[in-house]
Amino acid sequence: MKKWYKIVDLVDDQVKTLFHGNRGSRTLPHKEWLEAELKIVSDGGTKYLSGWHIIPSLEECLEYLEKFKNIEPKAVIKCRAKEVWKKAHSPSNIWLSKWLYIEEVVWKHYNGGQRNEQA
C-alpha cells in the first residue's frame, strides 16, 4: 500500500489535526484506521468534499510546509490511506482520503527554527 504524508500539529507528543477536529477531537490516535467526516466544505470560495489532506511524498510535504507562517508545533506523519482522490482545485499536489492510518512521525520542527528530519 502506498505511503502518504500529512502535516499535523505535534503538542506534548500528541498528533493533532491542523484546523478542524474529527469526531469531536483534534487528537489523532496511531496504528488504527481513522474515518474522515466527509462533508461539503469551502476554503475561501471553492466548495469540495472534505477528507484527510495528504501529500504523496515527504519532499513535497516539506515544500508545502514552507507556505506556513508558523511551523513551531508542526510535524509530518507517514501514513497509509484508502479511498483517495485528488483535491481538484488545489494548485499544490494535495490529495484527500476517507481513511487514514498513522504509522509514525517522520519529521518535526523544534528549537525555534531548527528542523529535524529524523524524528
SS (H, E, C) 78-98: EEEEEEEEECCCCCCCCEEEE
Residue 44: inside a domain? yes
Task: List, in order, residues 6 or more apart from 33 with CB less than 8 Å away.
Answer: 82, 99, 100, 101
Task: List, in order, residues 6 or more apart from 64 with CB less than 8 Å away.
Answer: 7, 55, 92, 94
Residue 117: inside a domain? no
The domain containing residue 90 runs over which residues?
A: 4-112
Condensed to tens digits (0 to 9), the pLDDT of residues 19-75 reads 888 888 999 999 999 999 999 988 778 899 999 999 999 999 999 998 988 877 899
Q: Which three cell numbers stand for residue 77?
A: 506523519
For position 89, what pLDDT does the model report? 86
For position 114, what pLDDT does the model report? 46
* Distance of alpha carbon 29 from alpha carbon 76, whole angstroms: 14
Average pLDDT for the chain: 89
Mean pLDDT of 111-116: 51
C-alpha angle with apex 89: 22 to 72, nearest 5 degrees? 50
Number of Cβ within a 10 Å radius of residue 20: 10
Give the lowest-confidence range in 75-79, 84-88, 94-98, 111-115.
111-115
Residue 96: inside a domain? yes
Residue 92: inside a domain? yes
Burial class (CB in 10 A: 0-12, 13-18, 19+), 5: buried
- Total number of domains constituting the chain: 1
Residue 35: inside a domain? yes
Q: How confident is the model at residue 116 (pLDDT cuts 50, 70, 90)?
A: low
Beta bridge partners of 100: 34, 81
For position 119, what pLDDT does the model report? 47
